Every structure is written in C-alpha cells, then in structure tokens.
Amino acid sequence: MRNYAALVAAALPTAFCAVSVLQPTPPMGFNDWSAFMCGLNETLFVDTAHAMVKFGLLEAGYNRLNLDDCWSLGERAANGSMQWNPAKFPRGLPWLTSYLKSLGFQAGIYTDAGLKSCGGYPGAHGYERLDAETFASWGFDYVKLDGCNMPTGTEEEYKMVYGHWHAILSAMEPPLVFSESAPAYFAEADNLTDWYTVMDWVPEYGQLARHSRDTLVWNSTLYWPDITGWDSVMFNYGQEVRLARYQRPGYFNDPDFLNVDHFDYTLAEKKSHFAIWASLSAPLIISAYIPDFTPEEVKYLTNKDLISVNQDPLALQATLVSQDGTWDVLTKSLANGDRLVTAINRGNFTSDLKIPFERIGLPPLSIVKVKDLWTGSWSVASNKVTAVNVPSHGTAVMRLSALGHQWAVTPTGMFFNTASLTCLTSYPGETVGFANSTGADGQVWQTKSDGTISTLSGERSSPLKCLTDRGAGNVTLEVCSGRLAQQWDYHITGNVRSRKSKGCLTEGEDEMVITSPCLWEENIKVTSTLSRQKFTAHLNCNVQEDCLSPFPSVTYLESLTRDGFVLIPSILNASQIAALRTASAETIELARGGKWPSVRTLPKQFPPWDIAPGTNPAAGGIWGVQFMMHPDLPHSQTFINNYFSHEVIDVVKELLHCTDDELVLELFNLLIRPDRDFELKWHRDDIQPSATAEEEIERLREPAWHAQWNLALYDDESLIVVPGSHARARTDVERSADPYEKGLPGEIKVRMKAGDVVFYNNNILHRGAYLSGVERMTLHGSMGHVGGVD
C-alpha cells in the first residue's frame, strides 16, 4: 500500500474568509513569451496595444500588457539595479508604461527568483527589494516571478524566496500583483508531493500561479516534436482540474497563455482553448501577434458571455462531473444562481451528448432556460441538457437559468486519485473500489449537509447507500443513516478524512478503498508517484458556502497558516466550564492571598516577575497564575485533565502534524482579571521589536514546533491581533506605531465565548488589553513537538 494518498475530488470549491483582495477576478491581457520569446521590443508592445484598442479587446476586458524574459541588459548597473536594453526599448520602460497607461492599459514585468533568468539574464536572487522598488518606480504594477536557476532547487528554498517576494510586494504602496511560477518546477516529478506542498502555500503569497509546463511556444515542435497544440492544451487542462480546491477570489490557478495564432491549432481547438480557460476562471493572457488577428479570432476572444463566465465574482473553477474518454463535462455555479455546463469533445468525430440534470447537481424534473454561449440562442430544457453537433476537439458551453422557481443544487461529481488518476467507484452490493474513469453513474458521487457521500446510482436504488468507515481500515457502502462512520471531511490538502477514525481515504493494493493514517503533505519515499491519499473532489456547488457543509474546506491548520490564529467554538460543555471555574476561582484566591508564589505581576509584560523574597508576590497586583499542573496546587488534577484532554490534544496534533508520542509538555497558566487596568505592547513572542525586516523574515521561515492557545472560561475579548502578520515582516506603519497603538491597520479583537479556544502563532503581531472590572479566567497553554527540542 502506498502510504501517502492524494484525493483529487473533482472540483469542490474552497471557501475562504471574505477579505479585500488585490485581484478579485482573473487577469486578462497580453504577454509576449509564447509568440516571440526573446524577440520582444518597444514596437511590439506599442503595436499590440493599438491593435487591442482597434479590435475591441481592451473594451472587452483585456487591459494588461506584460513583458516576459529578455527585456534587460545582460548585467546589472554599478549600483546593482536592473537595466532595460536600450536597443529594444529606446525610449525606456518608464516611457512605455506611461504610454500604455495613457491608452487605458496596465503594465507587468518579468523577473526570475534564481541567479539567472530562464533566458540567461540577471536573476533577482539577493536583489529582491531593490528590483521590486525599481519595477514600481518604472510604472509596473504586476510582477511575474519565474523559477529558473535556483541555488538548490528545493521546495523549502522556493517557499523562502517566494515568501520574501510576497512580503515585499504586499507591503508596497500600492501593492503589486504577484504571479508565481514556483509550482511549475515541481509539476512533473516522479513524486508529486512537493508540487502539492507548493500549491498549499502559493495562494497565500500571490494572486495567480503557473502550475505546469508552458503551452506551446512558436517553435515548440523543435524540442517537443511529438506534442500537438491540442495535446498541450489538454495536458495543462489536466493539471488544472486537479487544483480546483485552491482557487478563490483573489487567487487563480494559471494554466498558461492563449496561443491564438499558433500554426498547430485548428479554429475549433483555439475556441476550445478559450472556452475551457473561461470556464475555469483562469487568467486570459493572449500570447500572439494581435495586429494580424482574423475576424474569427477577434470574435471568439471578445465573446461577452464567455468573458462574463470567466470574470464571475464567485471565481469558481469549473469542475469535472463526468469523464468517459471522449467527453469531459464540467460545471460550476455563477454569482446570480445560474449553472454553467461545459462539454469538451476529446474524440475524433463530431458528436452530440445528452447530460442528465442529476449529473450536474440539479433536480431531475427541473425545467430550465439554456443559453448557448457560442451563438447566444436560448432554449428550454427539462431533465437533461444536450450538446449538439460539437466538432472534434470542440467545446459546447451552456448557461442554465431557473425557470419560474428556485433550485437546490446538490454537490455532485467525481473523486480522482491524483497519483493513479483512478476514480472512486461503487459496485453492486457494498463494494467500493478505484477504477479507470468510464463516466458510469457509479463513479459520480453526491454529498449531503451531514458529511455523507453517496453514489449517483444509489439515488435510483432503495435504500440509499453511503460511503462507510467500518473501522480497521475497511471502507464499504452501507445504507445511509448519517451516523458518524458515514461522515467525512475534505481538506484543502486533498485528503478526505473520516470523522470516526480520523483516518484518510486511501487507494490500497489492487485498487481497494481503505482508510489509513493521514500523512498530509509529507514527502514519503514511495516507489512511484505521489501517495494515494490525495484526491480532487469534483463536487459542483450552488455557491461556495454550500460546499462547506459536507466538506469543511478550511481546516484548523489551514486557518492558522492563513490568518495566524484559529478560533474553535465550544470545545468545553457547561459542566466542564463549571468545574474549571471552581478550580480557577480557588486557585486565584490562593494567589491573591500570597499563598501561591508563581504569579504574573503588574505591570510587567514578560518574566522575570517582580517578586521580592519574603513578601506577598501579589502585593503589587497580578494578572496571571503560573504552573497550573504543579502537584502542590490543590486543583492541579483538574487542570491536568484539561491540558491532556482529547479536545485539546486532537487539535494540537493536527497543527503540529504529529502523533501522541511526538508531543512535548510545555506550559499551562491562568490569565486572570488584573487588579487594575493593564495593557500589553504590540509584540511577537520570539522576535525583538528592533529586528530588521530581513531578520523577521528569516525567523518567520523557521518551522513551527509549538502550538499555543487561550481557552476562555468567561467571555474574553482581551486578545488583539493583526491577521496574516505572522507570515510577513512588519509594515512601515507597524514599525513606527506606538507600542500601545489602538486602531493599527487590520487589527481585530478575538472575541471568545466561554468554552471557546483560540490557537495562535506566537509570532503574529498581537497585544492584550485587560480590564479590572471584567471577570477573566482564561487558560493559556502551549505544547511542543519533539522536533523542536534542542
């Protein structure tokens, strides 16, 4: 059995907190690379801009022109800055960006994270801040960061360098759009674990990420003689559909450029290329000689209906609901409640396809309006929608609207194993396994709000059967009851996790379906491709929130990684809260009376505490009690039971990726109502305020070996944090702020009800504000991983 599995569950969108985003919909525009490679120059960009205005491309939304590699001289200037090639850009890049902006365009530029660019020009390694400031001063608001010629080429190095760029670009005023190429450098390894690990972090760093090889450049046949234009499109599309769970407003998977005038595409293939990218809400970046476009090419590229789908505010990536070797059917929801259906004819002949409504998550007896997005014509359909007369390598795209009623969409689709590309398949009786995709009903699954998973074919039988964790690694189909053994969670890592055993769905030997310990993103040494616990869930949903019920898309670890904290409600019941309050109240009475020496004294923020020998430690006021598990404390066993409770331990193990045997006991204290109002300064626990931005980044890149939490026994909103600050250097505003600054940009109060717990990264920017008139009993704990022990 391969230990580490990846579930490619066909297209369950991932929901994220609503935040202001730099690039809410995918970018549209032009890049020179595929068509011209190192042949770019000022004339090309000026002529391209004029043609985009003339042909209506700018009006249609293509408002960006991006320079790719080879724009610079071969050496940096004496002061280390990059220099444009004056032979290619005689009036300079500041002039070019200014001129493009006068026409209504935005401008982007290329650089490389390594020592040299892919074309052999100076890389940005070691010059990141200087180059970012230079690009901004020239008028660029978008940076594409390639990944050639890295010093070591490890995933860890890419994360460090790309994270550094993120910190720089996001802190600039205004921030620059960041296009990341890191995933492409891991996309075709024998073991794809690093690819998925990179995909886990790129959405937090930038606005789009190139995940695979280039689509065909103009002379591709010289070094890819056996790959056709259609092969290239289908390869990158195949990579893209594995990654739907990562996409959201503000971050887009990028399958590369639209090669509109490449000689190796038929018109049907060009139109399919555009329609598929539009359905995926992928960036629509043209790489071609636009002044020579034909009327047919301009017509399909400016199709308002398809561009509207691409720019839909939900930003969902269309997901697979069926695949049979000839037809791929994808669907997604749109912001106004409509459904998109995209049918790709991968076969060699013109053909028709009937798609039952239940395949796309609609009630089978629905009556809907159908708009053909190629012709603009409307029709009415019931029970099924039909793609008619679709040419070989052509694509039908239809928009479905409810007719006189509201519809409830059931998340429906396929589960693909990202390693083997086999599908989760049901068979008669209770048997379930993995098999090659055939498009059969037994390979199409539906999820319910209670986390159950049933096959589409099960809807036609009586009674309905659900995927069931039988224990000891066994998975079967049994009559649906909604019991714990039939409830599953889908994580952004691609793991499908049993709520009963906490094991992850895994493809075992002989295509068996089993559960095994979740290994998340560990790079296990296996004999062939990526582990078999990672899946892509292609489950179309009505809106993003609907996908949360069956499969919570954001785990505790994902929230902690993204925001720097995760609030978990109600981990204690009323009787547990009452018992801990009683124990805490008596402990506080001992401490205030000078009968427990280990306290946090006012007005100090950090130890050592001001406790004079032979005096009452609490005489000057206290705001905390230390060492709650010390055997001399009367209620120590109550606190020990809480510290080692499964409610706490289970979360810690998820956050630290560890087993019970790898946990290390650290601290457990009690934060209490202070004797007078008291505030803590803005701080990071392990980084001094005097640290430079570079020192901060270096420290923040170190592994997290500790899980730290506050567990409230009374309502508590004392903790104030700046979400996301754990992953970047401080901004200039944060550096210059008063230590007790109120209203720091982005700050929030973490509001906990009694029984809630918040886990937080100890290097998130945070402070505390404690009121003497408000009761406070909050248990403050920390637990470590053995890997962090010196």
The single residue of 68, 194, 200, 256 carrying the catalytic annotation is: 200
Q: Which residues contact 570 (CB under 8 A, 6 or more apart)?
A: 753, 755, 756
Spatial separation of the C-alpha atoms in residues 553 and 558, rounded to whole Å: 9
Number of C-beta neighbours around residue 218 at 10 A: 20
Torsions phi, psi of 394, nearest 5? -95, 170
Residue linked to tokens 């995940």? 211
Alpha-carbon gap, residue 706 to 687, rounded angstroms:
15
Alpha-carbon distance of 144 to 158, in angstroms, equals 14
Identity of the amino acid at 627: F
> Mapping DSSP to helix (H, G, I), strand (E, B) and coil, where does residue 399 land?
strand
Whether the CB-CB separation of 341 and 355 falls below 8 Å is answered with yes
Name beta bridge partners: 319: 331
Token duo for residue 77: 């200037």
In which element (H, E) is residue 580 found?
Answer: helix 574-592
Largest CA distance in the chain: 93
Among the listed residues 68, 69, 112, 146, the single catalytic one is 146
CB 645 within 8 Å of CB 767: no
DSSP helix/strand/coil, 51? helix
Strand partners, 68: none
Q: For residue 294, give every residue at least 6 positions away whose Cβ sits within 8 Å of its Cβ, in sequence order, or none.
A: none
How many CB atoms are closer than 10 A to CB 744?
A: 18
Written as six digits, the tokens of 107 are 């401008």
* 344 sits in which H/E element: strand 339-345
Residue from 444, 462, 442, 446 nearest 454 by CA: 446
Residues 616, 610: Cα–Cα separation, whole Å: 11
Alpha-carbon span 647 to 653, nearest angstrom? 11
Could you confirm whether 226 is annotated as catalytic?
Answer: no
Alpha-carbon span 700 to 326, nearest angstrom: 49
**CA nearest to 717, candidates 753, 682, 743:** 753
Sheet with 678-679: list strands edge to edge.
678-679, 766-770, 719-721, 748-749
Cα(388)–Cα(400) distance, integer angstroms: 16
Give the residue among 7, 84, 10, 9 at the shortest CA–CA distance from 40.
Answer: 84
Could you tell me if 195 and 186 are in contact, meaning their C-beta atoms sit under 8 angstroms apart?
yes
| Secondary structure string (H, E, C) spanning 286-316 | ECCCHHHCCHHHHHHHCCHHHHHHHCCCCCC
Q: At what angle do helices 636-643 and 574-592 cross, to 10 degrees?
A: 130
Which positions ≥6 away from 762 have C-beta within 8 Å? 684, 685, 686, 706, 708
Note every long-range contact of 423-426, with CB atoms under 8 Å and residues 24 or more positions apart, other chains counting: 424/505, 424/513, 424/535, 426/455, 426/457, 426/458, 426/465, 426/477
Taking residue 557's Cβ as centre, other Cβ atoms within 10 Å add up to 20
Helix/strand/coil percentages in the chain, nearest 5: 30, 25, 45
Smallest CA-to-CA distance from 548 within 11, 18, 12, 7 is with 12
Peptide bond into 608 cis (omega under 30): yes
Question: Tokens for 480?
Answer: 């649906």
Q: Answer for the pair 145, 181: CB distance below 8 angstroms, yes or no.
A: yes
Active site (catalytic) residues? 146, 200
